[in-house]
Structure 1
Amino acid sequence: MISALNQLVDLVEEHLGDESDVQALAVRLGTTEYHLRRMFSSLAGMPLSEYVRRRRMTLAAADVVQGEGDLLSIAVRYGYGSAEAFGRAFRAVHGVGPGDVRRDGGPLRTQPQLRFRLTVEGSTPMDTRLVERPAFRLVGHAARVPLIHQGINPHIQQHITALPQEEHLRLKALSDTDPGGLLQVCDDLDPDSTEGSELTYLHGVAVSRDTPAPGDLDAIEVPAGKWAVFRTAGPHPQALQTTWAATATEWFPSNPWRLRPGPSLVAILERADDFSSATCELWLPVEPA
């Protein structure tokens, strides 16, 4: 995977003036665009689209300062159809417009070319098992919420606390297959994992495929496949988020598996009364790499 990410970086450099064919690269490397983008964003700390924009504007800034043509010519050189669109992208990266930089020489914010290297230190214990599951269904209450990488997501918290206590008990009674109990489900996640992008969050349970879902509940159909299940314990949600990040930095680069599209599931096995600590299972859909 590290080699694949470095080849992706090289592809970006070759196509800063047009669109990189990430899907074709993924096929050639024997992986998927979905997994490649997810691993890039996890390890680089930014979406691939943001890295491309920063690299384009880094090189474009040099052309602007050196007077390499008028601003429209530079805009076209880096894949923008108008000076206005180029100016917006330029300002988003550098904080000032290209005209200001041409006149004053700066300020400029440089994005160096990334290079990935694998250092596996085993800093995060990975208590993992692989599970084969037939198709099943997730049922519960769903909402569209923004993605937040660290800390408690207030939008998810508000969604859960708005449900009456009897509804939590009703949902738990519906659960009839693994993973058992109430689940925190994230679906329709942007492959780039851009913070602030929307995802579907479902507070619900897993039921077998043939179990009818009550009409007042939302449902997500989950196809048959393998799951990597990571057990976490400690301060909540910090321990869970640390393990989630470590799946990208330590587990996937070291194991012959890749993410496949599908929801991620968190089952709370035990927790403190105030939810300050918890023992959880993180379920991620995987397939052979």
Structure 2
Amino acid sequence: MDMLKGMNEALNYIEENLDKHINLKEVASRAFFSEYHFKRLFSLLSGITISEYIRRRRLTMAALELKDPNVKVIDVAIKYGYYSPDAFSRAFQGFHGVTPSLARKLDQKLKAYPRMAFQLTIKGGIEMNYRIVEKEGFVVFGIKYNVEAVNETLSPTYEDMFTAISETTMKELESLATQEPFVIVHVSVNYAEHDNGKATFEQYIGAVTTTKEKIKEYATLEVPPLLWAIFEVDGDWLQVEEHWKRIYSEWLPSSSYELAEGPEILASKNQKSEIWIPIMAAVSKSKHLP
């Protein structure tokens, strides 16, 4: 319930400040999370980045205000953070499909993106098997991809990334694994959100090892010492995705931990998977984060 209250307080703050500069660190503090944790949680639960949500809400409100013939387009543009008429027109047309001038017509079709609210849904209890492990630093050797995510659509997709790697390379990578998990791993790191609503991250498909020697054929990711929550999942990719969301929406809010900045790891073989999430002790929720 604390998580629901905090997330909705963050959304209230956004709604009250759509016509002002919105500091995402302050938004996150309203939900009692770090900015990094809040962005990842919001994206997983809603399917869009927090920046894209704010953009859609502003363009929704802008369209409503343009119905007033006494309101100037430039004034609406500036009010919602667009200091160039061209930039506002491009963003408006990209969202609504028409220019701001045409949006003034009474019979013109426009889009509306209603404000969100997080609600509690009671479901049948499903146990989650996990362990907390503190690990020294390690290295991942593998194939690296720069991934762009727009509304949960990835480019390249996980399937494209995986199928682009030959079976011979996969076997060679798996032979490099010298510490758990002793299978091919999918490692997501350096998650970032951008003002255009896109999110980017780096994806490695490879093996975990303790060696520091470079292997010229492969990209190298050095992972620092971290505390990990490791979850066991039985089933296909859909079950893995569902479990991943439950970690963020159910386990983390009810635990004494929060997400730490670092890689997220998926290790899978024969429909047996482990999800590795970097964690740290949660900041006290008795007051807003500084």
TM-score range (shorter-chain normalised) is 0.7 to 0.9
Deviation for aligned residue 1:281: 0.8
The match for 1:188 among 185, 190, 193 is 190
2:279 paired residue number: 286
- TM-score, normalised by the number of residues in structure 1: 0.85
1:74 paired residue number: 76
2:233 paired residue number: 232
Change over 3 Å in CA distance of 1:173–1:149 after alignment to 2 = farther
Change over 3 Å in CA distance of 1:138–1:114 after alignment to 2 = same
1:268 paired residue number: 268
2:56 paired residue number: 54
- RMSD over aligned CA atoms reads 2.8
- TM-score, normalised by the number of residues in structure 2: 0.84
Change over 3 Å in CA distance of 1:84–1:22 after alignment to 2 = same
1:165 paired residue number: 167
Uncovered stretches (5+) of structure 1, i.e. residues with no partner: 272-277
Change over 3 Å in CA distance of 1:37–1:122 after alignment to 2 = farther
2:215 paired residue number: 214
Moved more, 112-121 or 8-17: 112-121
2:263 partner letter: P
Is the 1:68–1:74 contact (alpha carbons within 8 Å) kept by the matching residues of 2? Answer: no
Change over 3 Å in CA distance of 1:183–1:88 after alignment to 2 = same
For residues 260 and 181 of structure 1, the distance between their equivalents in structure 2, rounded to whole angstroms, comes to 24
Cα deviation, 1:38-89, whole Å, max 9, x if unaligned, reads 1112222321112111211222122110224211111111111122222222
For residues 192 and 27 of structure 2, the distance between their equivalents in structure 1, rounded to whole angstroms, comes to 19
1:109 and 2:115 matched:
no
2:92 partner letter: F
Is the 1:80–1:86 contact (alpha carbons within 8 Å) kept by the matching residues of 2? Answer: yes
Identity among equivalent pairs (%): 29
Moved more, 180-189 or 140-149: 140-149
- SS of 1:178's equivalent in the other structure is coil
Cα deviation, 1:186-240, whole Å, max 9, x if unaligned, reads 2222358x997443221111112x5423232211111111112121112x22111
For residues 102 and 154 of structure 2, the distance between their equivalents in structure 1, rounded to whole angstroms, comes to 40
Is the 2:52–2:198 contact (alpha carbons within 8 Å) kept by the matching residues of 1? Answer: no
2:275 partner letter: L
How many aligned positions are there?
279
Uncovered stretches (5+) of structure 2, i.e. residues with no partner: 283-290
Is the 1:150–1:241 contact (alpha carbons within 8 Å) kept by the matching residues of 2? Answer: no
Moved more, 119-128 or 151-160: 151-160
Is the 1:146–1:195 contact (alpha carbons within 8 Å) kept by the matching residues of 2? Answer: no
Deviation for aligned residue 1:254: 2.3
Is the 2:148–2:154 contact (alpha carbons within 8 Å) kept by the matching residues of 1? Answer: no
For residues 248 and 232 of structure 2, the distance between their equivalents in structure 1, rounded to whole angstroms, comes to 15
2:147 partner letter: V
Cα deviation, 1:247-268, whole Å, max 9, x if unaligned, reads 2232223222222222211111
2:225 partner letter: A
Is the 1:145–1:156 contact (alpha carbons within 8 Å) kept by the matching residues of 2? Answer: no
Change over 3 Å in CA distance of 1:126–1:147 after alignment to 2 = farther
Moved more, 241-250 or 131-140: 241-250
For residues 215 and 148 of structure 1, the distance between their equivalents in structure 2, rounded to whole angstroms, comes to 32
For residues 72 and 220 of structure 2, the distance between their equivalents in structure 1, rounded to whole angstroms, comes to 54
Cα deviation, 1:166-197, whole Å, max 9, x if unaligned, reads 332322222112222211122222358x9974
1:54 partner letter: R
